[in-house]
Chains A and B, each alone.
Chain A
Amino acid sequence: MSQLPASAQGASWWRTLRGFQGRNLWFAAFVAPFVLGLLVFVYIPIAWSAYLSFFDARNTINPTRFVGLQNYRYLLTDPLFQNSLLVFIAFAGFIVPLTYVCSLGLALLLNGLTWGQAFFRSAFFIPTACSYVIAAMIWRLSFFNGARFSLANQLVRGAGGDNVNWLGGTNYWYWLVLVSLRLWLQVGFYMILLIAGLNRIPTDTYEAAALDGATGWRTLRYITLPQLRASTVAVLMLLLIGAFQAFDEFYNLLGSISGYPPYARPPLVHLYLISLGGQQQDLGLGGAGTMIVTALIVFFGLTQNWLVTRADRRAG
């Protein structure tokens, strides 16, 4: 419709530009605010940071000293940065499958419930309204405090153990704290997405399967999961992107007045600490870090997508 050929004689460039009944102008008017915003606050900053990444840009945004790939080389050989990538991989490795399985479990538990469904759905969904800052406060100070008064230590002592320093970095228990917090906060949202997916599966598919004698696990394996494929791909992608962005709960669980510890630093926290959060602002390093992190998230996203698609085709 919008691409009527402008071959009619006398059709000026203006008429072409306006389009049929001015449709091109309407298109421009509708998208302009969004596209301009995207350009000014997403694309230009990314380009700028690509530019800064080749300069020594400490405490300045108009750097003069070109350093080539030095910022990149510094970051890629920095043990703390390498470690932050490992932290991301470990965190995503825990949280992505765990959240998917738990949210699917909750969705299946609620599916087809005749009594109390709205209440239980709200109970699982409402943590979404809590901020990571406040959740971190509850986890850090009441659930998993290293001191004797935390709920976790109360339980550990009840079982005959000694108080555990959950977040102190002398052991790996901080993973339990980090993963349980995010799981609690986000699982309800993905449950809603999967409930929507389950509701789209036609009931007669189940009836047909039941007639063929399929029950329980076999129904799940051969009917539910394949039919949920589209939702699954979307949920896994959103979870991965979310895990990559992790900042709030790490910062608030582990940061203190004396700074952030060297362990459990995900990429964004490390980027924050080296570029903006420290004594001086190193925007060249921050720019290089942004480039690397952006490339990685695109890479991880595409890889996961490829793996899911391939597994799906095999299951075919």
Chain B
Amino acid sequence: MSRAGLKSSRAGLLVRYIVLVVLSVFFLLPFWIMIRNAFSDRAWITAAQWHWLPNQVNGRTLRSLFADDNLAMARTMVNSGIQSVGQTVLTVFVALLAGYAFARFNHRVARALLGLTLFTLMVPAAVTFVPSFVMTSQLGWIDSFRGLIIPTLFSAFATYLFRQHFLGFPQELEDAALIDGANQWTSFWRVVVPNSMGIIGAVGTITFIGAWNAFLWPLLVTREDTRTVQVTLSRFMTSQGVKYPELFAGALVATMPVVVVFLFLQRYLVKGVESSGID
């Protein structure tokens, strides 16, 4: 299994590539099914004979999807966009500052606060959704972007990842800036942040994907005004008389932004995970 072990046999390498190709087909299959369904008509999808190819490759389903006022697909996409971008920017900002402080300060207060942070890693927000919902409705934030974004943006995971990164960040760079007369704030923004774009990209990507795909919290706090695309699709799926083509066209449209972000920022994600050392 090791590099040394497999170098020897060419047959072994061939088998390995065959396995990889077969597995990739399996992994990509669900995406293909989504595309097939989005570009087929209902009769084709629900036929007893399974079809691998679509039969209606045109924009008809997409047009009817966006024309459906009940669904408000365009509106719901905009809502999801506001929510995910807002949550990503704020989460990264807040966690970056805190992660930096936790890496550079090690007095009793800092250790106690870090302990509180690490505890919430084990008890994630989803587990405490009942009290968080109570809090949010007390604040009058139901069906508002504040209610959608703010309660979920204090991420212990992001803070922890940043802290791990900054523990390995050379402090000499900051000291040099401080000697040149910068204060902590300017040295942070001028020296530390520009040299940490990799991990910022990684945490940003993870946060964006998580926010765009979030379901439980939006299900609880959104109503007509701020409903996100995941909640809309879920309601559409369980409504009476499922419209298969439109439903999967909606899924395709909802998956696109996050797949694009993912493909462009994937290398940051991989690099960030590698350098932060989650272990």
Contact = CB atoms under 8 A, between A and B. Distances in A.
A283 to B, nearest CB: 6
A206 B3 contact: yes
Contacts of A280: none
A249 B276 CA distance: 30
Given A33-B94, A35-B113, A129 B234 contact: no
A30 B269 contact: no
Given A27-B101, A34-B154, A247 B134 contact: no
Nearest to A135: B30
Given A38-B156, A133-B233, A31 B97 contact: yes
Given A42-B125, A129-B259, A216 B116 contact: no
A142 B152 CA distance: 33
B101 A276 contact: no
A132 interface: yes
Interface string B98-127: 101110011101100100110011111111
B215 A46 contact: no
Main secondary structure of the interface of B (DSSP, over half): helix
Contacts of B28: 123, 126
Contacts of A2: 105-107
A196 B237 CA distance: 38
A257 interface: yes
B96 to A, nearest CB: 9
B254 A131 contact: yes
Nearest to B256: A129
Interface in B248-278: 248, 251, 254-255, 258-259, 261-263, 266, 269-270, 273-274, 277-278
A175 interface: no
Interface stretch (A7-15, A145-153, A166-174, A306-314): A145-153
A116 interface: yes
Contact of A131 (B24, B94, B106, B213): B213
Contacts of A127: 27, 30
A276 B105 contact: no
B216 A248 contact: yes
Interface of A: 2-3, 23-24, 26-27, 29-31, 33-35, 37-38, 40-46, 48-49, 52, 61, 106, 108-113, 116, 119-143, 147-149, 151, 154, 184, 188, 192-193, 195-197, 199-200, 203, 206-207, 209-210, 215-217, 219-220, 223-224, 230-231, 233-234, 238, 241, 244-245, 247-248, 251-252, 255-257, 268, 271-272, 275-276, 283, 286-287, 289-290, 293-294, 297-298, 301
24 contacts: A24-B107, A30-B100, A33-B97, A34-B98, A42-B128, A45-B131, A52-B134, A108-B1, A120-B20, A125-B266, A130-B258, A131-B212, A137-B237, A142-B37, A143-B33, A188-B27, A193-B278, A230-B279, A247-B215, A255-B238, A256-B238, A276-B133, A283-B134, A286-B131
Interface of B: 1-6, 16-17, 19-20, 23-24, 27-28, 30-31, 33-34, 37, 45-50, 93-95, 97-98, 100-102, 105-107, 109-110, 113, 116-117, 120-135, 137-138, 150-154, 156, 159, 184-185, 188, 209, 212-213, 215-216, 219-220, 230, 233-234, 237-240, 242, 244, 247-248, 251, 254-255, 258-259, 261-263, 266, 269-270, 273-274, 277-279
| Nearest 7 A/B pairs, CB to CB | A45-B131, A131-B213, A34-B98, A37-B154, A49-B131, A230-B279, A30-B101
